[in-house]
Amino acid sequence: RAVVVLRFWADLSVKQVADALSIPEGTVKTRTRAALAALRTSGLVVRDAEDRTIDEEVR
């Protein structure tokens, strides 16, 4: 939950979230993908916004 809150509500970069939580950037990306997948399954995420976010993280 903390990763999603920091990434999307606080609008922090992957690096900033990693630094704030003292975890590797890869872990931030993995947790973000997992959280977005769970939200997608629940129907709470708009697909276009989600896809754009995942694409931006991978680049």
The token pair at 44 is 């709470």
Structural domains counted in the chain = 1
The residue with greater pLDDT, 59 or 30, is: 30
What is the chain's alpha carbon radius of gyration, rounded to the nearest angstrom?
A: 11
- The residue type at 34: A
Which range of residues forms the domain containing residue 9?
A: 2-58
Average pLDDT over residues 2-13: 92
pTM > 0.85: yes or no: no
CB contact set of 33 (below 8 Å; sequence gap of 6+): 54, 57
Query: Is 90 exceeded by the pLDDT of residue 46?
Result: no
The token pair at 58 is 């991978």
